[in-house]
């Protein structure tokens, strides 16, 4: 992913809530590379090359939906398109309403739509993997991301779910990923309050002929001195699997997938896929390259899961991950001391044996 120096060109088309198929005719007057986002920076196309006087057509589906965030209701009344390029492009837009299923997402900051600053650097930008999914789905599925930074399974149930109560329709999907913030609340322990709210969401969806999908939370990349990633969310992964078996609903094991993907890379390489800016380094929240990788991991597992009405619409030709090798000359690093900082800001429910093992940090 490349850097861009200019702010995006914006197109806004006034429409009511719903799903729309948008077609862009994009013309350049010199060699260029461009990226397209919709709504709250949901990925449509990344780093596309275009030649002088060439016109490219880009067709995609956009979900326009009101949402609740931080106890405030937000009305969305337009299709919002952002074209990022370091030269001016000529853009013609068309749209038509479409009746397609919607993949609604509820969860926390690891999956939410994250903004970007310009000039744009993909490694310095937070990115929830859910905002990348539209790029890996065909035009028969729309994505509506209602995940929010700081959210727990309980908080969304009490405060943020009202919009979806009105929007969910038979044939839609409700995708759920919590855990990072639930782990800070004693009452939301993995097999207690956390599992109870997951069961509520599953039941709520089923009653309305909506198809729930349960995701284990992505793992944090906190490595011990032996090069192993600490098991900070394993109990929550196990609880999600248990609820999926109870409800006979799809289970996407992102905890195992992210652990297996990042651990062989070692901290030195793995941290490049989490937000960093030269002054601070995040070990929980991916940057844009990391968000793309996790979205691809999810898409590959969802395609294999055979989720009727969804799996067949995953663009499997787009989800390959280029081989990434750990730097053989990199020093073996440990950031286990990060656990102590997490404890100090409220990380409460972790496996007792792990807590005892590293409580000296």
Domain residue limits, the chain: 1-98, 100-332
Among candidates 142, 159, 140, which has minimal Cα distance to 151? 159
pTM for the complete prediction?
A: 0.93
Question: Is residue 81 predicted with pLDDT exceeding 70?
Answer: yes
Q: E strands along 193-292, which residues? A: 211-215, 251-252, 274-276, 281-286
Three-state SS string over 317-335 comes to HHCCCCCCCCCCCCCCCCC
In this predicted structure, what is the pLDDT of residue 142?
98
CATH code of the region 100-332: 3.40.50.1110
Q: What angle do CA 329, 232, 239 make, to 5 degrees?
A: 135
- Average of pLDDT values for 184-202? 95
Question: Is residue 201 predicted with pLDDT exceeding 90?
Answer: yes
Q: How far apart are CA 89 and CA 73, in angstroms?
A: 34
Question: Is residue 354 predicted with pLDDT exceeding 50?
Answer: no
pLDDT by residue (tens digit) across 206-224? 999 999 999 999 999 999 9
- Average of pLDDT values for 264-292? 94
pLDDT by residue (tens digit) across 340-350? 766 655 554 55
Q: What angle do CA 48, 142, 93 make, to 5 degrees?
A: 50
Question: Is residue 85 predicted with pLDDT exceeding 90?
Answer: yes
The rounded percent of the chain whose pLDDT value lies above 90 is 80
Confidence of residue 77 (pLDDT cuts 50, 70, 90): very high
In this predicted structure, what is the pLDDT of residue 345?
53
Q: Tokens for 196?
A: 């109870």
The average confidence (pLDDT) of the chain is: 91
Count of residues making up the chain: 361
Q: Tokens for 51?
A: 């030649």
For residue 152, the tally of other CB atoms under 10 A from its CB is 23
- Average of pLDDT values for 257-273? 95
pLDDT by residue (tens digit) across 98-138? 999 999 999 999 999 999 999 999 999 999 999 999 999 99
Q: How far apart are CA 288 and CA 112, in angstroms?
A: 12
- Residues 6 or more apart whose CB falls under 8 angstroms from that of 296 comprise 136, 318, 319, 320, 321
Name the residue with tokens 């609740």. 68
Question: Is residue 288 predicted with pLDDT exceeding 90?
Answer: yes
Annotation: CATH topology of 1-98 = Jelly Rolls (2.60.120)
| Ramachandran area for residue 310 (φ above 0: left; ψ -120 to 50: alpha; else beta) | alpha
pLDDT by residue (tens digit) across 290-349? 999 999 999 999 999 999 999 999 999 999 998 888 888 887 777 877 777 666 555 545
């Amino acid at each position: 992913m490349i850097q861009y120096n200019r702010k995006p060109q914006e197109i806004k088309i006034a429409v009511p809530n719903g799903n729309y198929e948008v077609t862009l005719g994009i013309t350049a007057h010199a060699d260029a590379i461009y990226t397209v986002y919709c709504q709250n920076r949901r990925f449509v196309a990344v780093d596309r090359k275009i030649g002088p006087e060439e016109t490219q057509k880009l067709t995609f589906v956009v979900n326009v939906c009101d949402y609740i965030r931080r106890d405030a209701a937000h009305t969305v009344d337009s299709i919002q398109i952002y074209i990022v390029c370091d030269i001016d492009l000529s853009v013609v837009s068309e749209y038509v309403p479409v009746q397609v299923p919607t993949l609604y997402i509820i969860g926390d900051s690891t999956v939410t739509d994250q903004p970007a600053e310009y000039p744009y650097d993909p490694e310095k930008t937070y990115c929830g993997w859910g905002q990348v999914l539209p790029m890996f789905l065909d035009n028969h599925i729309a994505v509506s991301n209602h995940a929010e930074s700081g959210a727990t399974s309980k908080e969304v149930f009490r405060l943020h779910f009202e919009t979806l109560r009105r929007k969910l329709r038979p044939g839609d999907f409700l995708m759920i990923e919590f855990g990072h913030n639930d782990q800070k609340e004693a009452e939301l322990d993995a097999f207690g309050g956390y599992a109870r709210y997951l069961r509520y969401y599953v039941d709520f969806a089923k009653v309305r002929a909506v198809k729930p999908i349960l995701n284990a939370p992505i793992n944090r990349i906190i490595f011990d001195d032996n090069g192993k990633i600490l098991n900070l969310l394993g109990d929550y992964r196990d609880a999600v699997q248990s609820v999926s078996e109870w409800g006979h609903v799809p289970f996407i094991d992102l905890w195992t997938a992210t652990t297996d993907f990042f651990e062989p890379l070692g901290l030195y390489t793995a941290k490049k896929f989490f937000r960093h800016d030269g002054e601070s380094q995040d070990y929980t929240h991916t940057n844009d390259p990391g968000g793309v990788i996790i979205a691809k991991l999810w898409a590959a597992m969802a395609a294999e899961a055979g989720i009727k009405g969804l799996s067949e619409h995953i663009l499997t030709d787009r989800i390959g991950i280029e081989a990434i090798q750990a730097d053989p000359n990199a020093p073996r690093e440990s950031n286990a001391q990060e656990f102590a900082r997490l404890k100090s800001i409220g990380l409460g429910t972790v496996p007792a044996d792990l807590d005892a093992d590293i409580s000296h940090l």
